[in-house]
A and B are shown apart, each in its own frame.
Chain A
Amino acid sequence: MEKEAGPEAAGVRLDDPWDDVPVPDGCGRDGTAAPVGDLDAPAVAGPGPEPSAADIYLEVHRSAAFREVRRRYRRFVAPAALAFLLWYLAYVVAATTAPELMARPVAGAVNVAMVAGLGQFLTTFLLTWAYARHARLRRDRAALDLRWDTQEMTRGLGPETTRGPGR
């Protein structure tokens, strides 16, 4: 999945990805999977038998690099989400069904309920920090590389081509 961009990518400069290229409305929208439709026309008109945008996305989707990014994301998010949702649910259920337990004093006027409530704040801050750190160190670089590669491969396909070479 490394830099095996098509022949036509060679001479193309690296665009800033967020200049105002007219972009399709969302994920999947510019795929050429639809058998008919005006989106297909430019790609078909291109020189030689090139892969369609849909093929490229399928290829990227199957690649080891993408699967690694997805695995890292899911490995972090799934257990973290399960943990904080259960912890919050336990807190709310305990607050509504076990007030005696929650009213137990811990230190001075501070009781179990107060500690649990502030604990929710603390765990929220900690998880936010951990997620941001994990994403920054373990995911951002790989995802950005994939983004450039994918965009380079799909360059000249799909609706972007309608802007023509005169750009």
Chain B
Amino acid sequence: MRGDHQTLALLLFSAFIAVTLFITTRVGRGRKGSAEEFYAGGRLFSPMENGFALAGDYMSAASFLGISGLIALFGYDGMLYSVGFLVAWLVVLLFVAELVRNCGRFTLADVVAARMAERPVRTAVGISSVTVSVLYLVAQMVGAGSLVALLLGGTSDAARSWTVVGVGALMVVYVSFGGMRATTWIQIVKAVLLMAGAVALTVLVLVHFHGNINTLLGTAAERSGHGEDFLAPGLRYGGDLTSRLDFISLGVALVLGTAGLPHILSRFYTVPTARAARRSVVWSIGLIGGFYLMTIVLGFGAAALVGSAEVRASNAAGNTAVPLLALRLGGGEGSTGGTILFALVAAIAFATILAVVAGITLASSASVAHDLYATLRRPGRRKRGEVAVARIAAAGTGAVAIGLGLLAQDLNVAFLVGLAFAVAASANLPALLYSLFWRGFTTRGAVWAVYGGLLPAVVLVLLSPVVSGSPTSLFPGVDFQVFPLENPGLVSIPLGFLAGWLGTVTSPEPPDEAKHAEAEVRALTGAGAA
């Protein structure tokens, strides 16, 4: 925003980039370029390291700045996100982490395709995984552009475009040269920075109110302009039936989608055993839960100390609530403390974005190389090394993300994260859960489950008010809106499960008893695990 902040923030950005590039060149040295190394980082990370990396992969700038901002603007309704994002990890812990670790090697498709005819299932799961990754990635890239521009004050189009290009180039470098090992260490560094920043700000807020939560909430309610309503649900989602259903739909997609996110699933292969995978989820639940509890304090703190009106004036979506809060806590405009805290928050947000996009790019390149390329390659062609393909795929993913990010930078893409979760919950989760727990599941069921969740989710969003027919739509000029909800999860998730069931019961092939027995034994005991 103002000169001093910019200089200091840019220095911190550069320091973070230098450290991460150092990590990338350093950890890759002297390692053989095997698939094991590139996709899974050698499988020898400790549960604590992987727990931090999982938390780092999951906590995007959208949660750090976005959720606190929503709380600062809408009070309690912003908190609903925090709860959904955390509870989702119970699905990961109970159903997914250990079994996926025991059953797969690198990707989600490994697990689902194991009992089935490999080619169609791997292709289907590969396509839906890449879809989820690209949706998520574009949302992060556009967010990165506007966020950095916002924090540094340069709201010019050129600054935003160059940020998108720069972030895209960096993530390709991290992934192509460093693989999973470098990406994991970058996540760990980022998670530590993010937690440290959040703890510092939370402590400052609590100290400011002498540890009295009651005063904090009371002041927040008072300065929000909504009074007591600020502390109860309804300000944002309390409108008509549609907006209520919309929120329930989003909430369900958040909770069920996390367990189907490819970049989260691929993390479980970086630890040696299922037990270690479980312990890393326990670590990440502790970190993520603590973090979201702090975002609540920060959000109400911003409402109390900065005021909702000022937050809204700075950025309509509330994304600047935490930076403004930092400025205020440090002593206000022009003070040294304020400048330092503001620059720190900006740098942490930037680190968060870089780490998250690197994680998603890696997962996407794994799906392309390990799932799609391996099955769709024309039989006659010479077979390239899988890791070489994965590196190229990372560059390709980066190029696509930069291109889409530039195209979409003036559009309202906030719905993309919700859509990514909805696709993950509608396509990936049914296929994964059925293949882990249903004896009778067949190839046709798996293929139908994936497409039967993926297509409705995407089509419903295309026909929804986020794309057309409302002033805030992607294309406000036209109107082909049919489906009233902005979040398709409430319809598309049941459709995914239904399609999987239907495909299975209409399947001409009988389920393979022996393979089911083997799958179950291996999933629960770890026999023969990679």
Smallest Cβ-Cβ distance to B249: which chain A residue: A92
Complex Cα distance A61/B93, Å? 24
Chain B, range 208-232, C-beta contacts under 8 Å to A: 213-214, 217-218, 221, 228-229, 231-232
Instruction: Report the minimal beta-carbon distance from A111 to chain B, rounded to whole angstroms.
Output: 6
Q: Are A128 and B90 in contact (CB under 8 A)?
A: yes
Judge if B199 is at the interface, Cβ distance under 8 Å: no
Q: Are A96 and B237 in contact (CB under 8 A)?
A: yes
Q: Are A150 and B232 in contact (CB under 8 A)?
A: no
Q: Are B524 and A143 in contact (CB under 8 A)?
A: yes
Chain A, range 51-66, C-beta contacts under 8 Å to B: 53-55, 57-58, 60-62, 66
A124 touches which of B278, B285, B527 (Cβ 8 Å): B285
Instruction: Report the minimal beta-carbon distance from B487 to chain A, rounded to whole angstroms.
Output: 12
Chain A, range 130-156, C-beta contacts under 8 Å to B: 131-132, 135, 140, 143-144, 146-147, 150-151, 154
Chain A residues within 8 Å of B248, by CB: 92-93, 96
9 interchain pairs (CB within 8 A)? A23-B528, A23-B530, A24-B528, A25-B114, A57-B514, A69-B524, A117-B82, A120-B86, A144-B525
Instruction: Report the minimal beta-carbon distance from B90 to chain A, rounded to whole angstroms.
Output: 5
Judge if B15 is at the interface, Cβ distance under 8 Å: no
Complex Cα distance A20/B529, Å? 11
Judge if B143 is at the interface, Cβ distance under 8 Å: no
Smallest Cβ-Cβ distance to A29: which chain B residue: B114
Q: A27-B115, A121-B83 are in contact. Are A99 and B521 (CB under 8 A)?
A: no
Smallest Cβ-Cβ distance to A125: which chain B residue: B289
Q: Are B115 and A17 in contact (CB under 8 A)?
A: no
Q: Are B528 and A150 in contact (CB under 8 A)?
A: yes
Q: A95-B80, A109-B221 are in contact. Are A150 and B525 (CB under 8 A)?
A: yes
Chain A residues within 8 Å of B77, by CB: 95
Chain A residues within 8 Å of B528, by CB: 23-24, 30, 150-151, 154
Judge if B49 is at the interface, Cβ distance under 8 Å: no
Complex Cα distance A143/B516, Å? 18
Chain B residues within 8 Å of A95, by CB: 76-77, 80, 233, 237, 247
Complex Cα distance A28/B103, Å? 9
Size category of the binding interface on chain A: 35 or more
Complex Cα distance A114/B231, Å? 8
Judge if B190 is at the interface, Cβ distance under 8 Å: no
Judge if B111 is at the interface, Cβ distance under 8 Å: yes
B523 touches which of A27, A80, A85 (Cβ 8 Å): A27
A26 touches which of B105, B228, B285 (Cβ 8 Å): B105
Complex Cα distance A120/B513, Å? 40
Q: Are A27 and B228 in contact (CB under 8 A)?
A: no
Complex Cα distance A142/B59, Å? 35
Q: A108-B218, A132-B279, A150-B521 are in contact. Are A81 and B110 (CB under 8 A)?
A: no
Q: Are A117 and B79 in contact (CB under 8 A)?
A: yes
Chain B, range 62-86, C-beta contacts under 8 Å to A: 76-77, 79-80, 82-84, 86
Chain A, range 33-91, C-beta contacts under 8 Å to B: 33, 53-55, 57-58, 60-62, 66, 69-70, 73, 77, 80-81, 84-85, 88-89, 91
Q: Are A27 and B519 in contact (CB under 8 A)?
A: yes
Max chain B Cβ within 10 angstroms of own Cβ: one of A30, A33, A96, A128: A96
Complex Cα distance A159/B233, Å? 58
Q: Is the interface of B mostly helix, strand, loop or mixed?
A: helix
Max chain B Cβ within 10 angstroms of own Cβ: one of A29, A53, A108, A150: A29
Judge if B312 is at the interface, Cβ distance under 8 Å: no
Instruction: Report the minimal beta-carbon distance from B184 to chain A, rounded to whole angstroms.
Output: 17
Q: Are B513 and A140 in contact (CB under 8 A)?
A: no
Chain B residues within 8 Å of A33, by CB: 512, 514-515
Size category of the binding interface on chain B: 35 or more
Complex Cα distance A111/B515, Å? 53
Q: Is the interface of A mostly helix, strand, loop or mixed?
A: helix
B229 touches which of A23, A88, A103, A128 (Cβ 8 Å): A103
Chain B residues within 8 Å of A150, by CB: 521, 525, 527-528
B214 touches which of A18, A80, A85, A110 (Cβ 8 Å): A110
Smallest Cβ-Cβ distance to A146: which chain B residue: B525
Judge if B282 is at the interface, Cβ distance under 8 Å: yes
Instruction: Report the minimal beta-carbon distance from A9 to chain B, rounded to whole angstroms.
Output: 14
Chain A residues within 8 Å of B87, by CB: 84, 88, 120, 124
Chain B residues within 8 Å of A147, by CB: 525-527
Chain A residues within 8 Å of B286, by CB: 125, 128
Q: Are B234 and A99 in contact (CB under 8 A)?
A: yes
Judge if B36 is at the interface, Cβ distance under 8 Å: yes
Q: Beyond A54-B517, A81-B91, list 20 extra A-B contacts (CB 8 Å).
A: A23-B529, A25-B105, A25-B110, A26-B103, A26-B111, A27-B114, A28-B522, A57-B514, A92-B84, A96-B244, A99-B238, A102-B232, A103-B232, A108-B214, A117-B79, A131-B93, A132-B279, A143-B525, A143-B526, A146-B521
Instruction: Report the minimal beta-carbon distance from A161 to chain B, rounded to whole angstroms.
Output: 13
A77 touches which of B94, B289, B523 (Cβ 8 Å): B94
Chain B residues within 8 Å of A120, by CB: 83, 86-87
**Interface 1/0s, chain B 487-524, versus A by CB < 8 A?**
00000000000000000000000001111111111111
Complex Cα distance A127/B289, Å? 13
Judge if B409 is at the interface, Cβ distance under 8 Å: no
Judge if B475 is at the interface, Cβ distance under 8 Å: no
Complex Cα distance A23/B102, Å? 11
Judge if B38 is at the interface, Cβ distance under 8 Å: no
Max chain A Cβ within 10 angstroms of own Cβ: one of B102, B293, B522: B522
Chain A residues within 8 Å of B36, by CB: 20
Chain B, range 106-153, C-beta contacts under 8 Å to A: 110-111, 113-115
